[in-house]
Structure 1
């Protein structure tokens, strides 16, 4: 009886193997963070193809070109949100009187409980959205959706500014528009006398934690498309020129790497949205980027990856003037992160400080 026990145990183990392989993934904790669902990826791919095709047709002399020639260049404001746009009244004052020079697009996380009704400039400007979450490529996908929607909507969109619900403008619309449009740009390879707009995106190559972020998906997961020496970091918020917006929605090569979920154990180093855009543009057109952001963020007392949040007691004219200061050619044009209850103090100084240039 006892002599047959090893044989019985072996048979039981052998028969159990299929069940172990079947149920182990459901029992054991996942090794990676959640990935982008395949249906979402398929929807995005179809959207990006339409945006690419429409831009190519416009550049070839279709109706889109006639529309662009009859309209001045516009700024597309891309709001990436997961809560109410509490500062909509500030933005309305910013936009007022300049309706021919801008468009607004909003990507709101479907799970967000939006209570505030959209104000004039935001009404009807919400695009089809997918779920977003931290430490995942969903934030990249959402920004790409906004870019694609803006490319499809209006050929006159020349600049694409990514904004969050916690952002405010630091200057008047006239000042912001002039700063972008009058940028000297870079010579066009095809026509050296013609200058192309630059993108305002932070690109950093020597961040001390860059390697940890590079291996967040695995030691060699980014190879061969993205060797470590080409990996970059930068602010999540940018202003892209139209050709770079098109470059982003056309990209498949780098996206297949950055869409991979991070390892669970590397979650604290997983910020894909801070790497995809600066890496892609630095690899494709480094001379066409200023390498700095136009959105001011205070990281001096960050908590759990979040920057300093300004409270009502901190709002003053001196704060606005300080937030504008920059080491680059231009002053900062936008700033974050502000708590929703800063609205009234900001409105109080809007006309006398913020929009007085």
Structure 2
């Protein structure tokens, strides 16, 4: 009987010792895991802190001065071309609420005399943002270009506007504000939809030599311009007058359908060199859409182009 008791005592004591060892082992593993997590956190924070330090500290090396930089007060000018009201103003309201540092400006060109206020828009961001020098725009006419130049001229008055985005009253943002801002500002290039079409018959030979046939381009009017190219369009006194003289009346709506002014003007002023990429044009003759597969086409003098 005593032997059984001694055996039970020894087994219970050994099990308790083994339990303590297991518990101590678990605590040791937990401590190792905590140490590992803390070390990993420090390692992850280290490059982030170095990045913040390098961004906040001024550098006067030649390499840093030559690379493109954006001031923290730099803004994107959103330039809306509308008939009257902005039917999607609430979508833009939600988008613009993502900006907490005043990194955007708004300019709206609508019919003369139209005022954006509480009665005409549901977004306070658009109150009073109409252009007072607006003109009557004939959709499909050269007055559309004049409206764009008026918008650009107004936006260029603000020295903090560094990027200029043309937006229609039916456009909506696909990403949030911070992503859009960082994406546009991180590139030193303009984004211009520009391509030549050998089958295009709208070029008027009388435009030569101001607008040579080899510089004739098609493209969308919804572009993103750096300040340099915005100034090119506003100060242009060659391309636009030629367009007005020789590109009217004869199939006017068809002529302006692909809005050749932006791409042709920048093409002529900057002699852009393109890297050819894949593009598919579908059903253009039958009035279908133009679909593109683009891999960031960067040309000379800071123009990102679709071609």
2:128 maps to which residue? 124
Counterpart of 1:249? 234
* Secondary structure, aligned partner of 1:117: coil
Residue number in structure 2 paired with 1:72: 73
How many angstroms does 1:283 deviate by?
Answer: 1.6
Task: List per-residue Cα deviations over 1:256-312 (Å, max 9, x = no partner).
Answer: 1012264434235320771111011112225499999xxxxxx9788996969xxxx
Per-residue deviation at 1:84? 1.8
Superposition deviation, residue 206 in structure 1: 2.5
Structure (1 or 2) with the larger CA radius of gyration: 2
Aligned to 1:204: 195
**1:108 paired residue among 107, 110, 119:** 110
Alignment equivalent of 1:140, drawn from 141, 145, 148: 145
- 1:260 paired residue among 245, 262, 267: 245
Report the counterpart of residue 260 of structure 2 in structure 1. Answer: 275
Shift of 1:147: 0.4
Which residue of 2 is the match for residue 222 of structure 1?
A: 207
**2:83 alignment counterpart:** 82
Compared with structure 1, are the counterparts of its residues 131 and 277 closer, same or farther at alpha carbon in structure 2 (3 Å cutoff)?
A: same
Distance 1:80 1:104, change over 3 A: same
Instruction: Describe the SS at the equivalent of 1:240.
Output: strand
Give the Cα–Cα distance (whole angstroms) in 2 for the partners of residues 77 and 110 of structure 1. Answer: 19
- Distance in structure 2 (CA, Å) of the matches to 1:167 and 1:289: 28
- 2:115 touches 2:130 (CA, 8 Å); kept in 1? no
**Alpha-carbon distance in 2 for matches of 1:79, 1:121:** 13
Q: Distance in 1 between matches of 2:81 and 2:275?
A: 23
Determine if contact 1:231/1:275 at 8 Å carries over to the other structure. Answer: yes
- 1:160 matched to 2:164: yes
Counterpart position of 2:38? none
CA contact under 8 A between 1:80 and 1:108: conserved in structure 2? yes
Alignment partner of 1:181: what SS?
Answer: helix
Q: Larger RCO: Structure 1 or Structure 2 (Cα < 8 Å, ≥ 6 residues apart)? A: 1
Structure 2 CA distance, aligned partners of 1:221 and 1:206? 19
Q: Output aligned runs, 1:253-332, within 5 Å.
A: 253-260=238-245, 262-271=247-256, 274-287=259-272, 327-329=294-296
Q: Name the SS for the 2:232 alignment partner.
A: helix
Residues 76-103 of structure 1: per-residue CA shift (max 9 Å, x gap)? 0000011321111110111114151100
Contact 2:96 2:177 in 1 (8 A): yes
RMSD: 3.5
CA drift of 1:70 comes to 7.8
- Normalising by the residue count of structure 1, what TM-score does the alignment of the two structures yield? 0.55
CA spacing shift, 1:288–1:127, aligned 2, 3 Å = farther
Gap regions ≥5 residues in structure 2? 1-69, 298-307
How far apart are 1:329 and its partner, in Å? 3.6
Deviations 1:179-222 (A, max 9, x none): 11112xxxxxxxxxxxxx2100011012522xx2212xxxx331
Unaligned runs of 5+ in 1: 1-68, 184-196, 293-298, 309-322, 331-357
Query: How far, CA to CA, are the matches of 2:225 and 2:108 in structure 1?
Result: 17
Whether the 8 Å CA contact 1:201–1:238 is kept in 2: the answer is: yes
Q: TM-score, normalised by structure 2?
A: 0.63
Once the 2 structures are TM-superposed, how far is the Cα of residue 117 of structure 1 from its aligned partner? 2.7
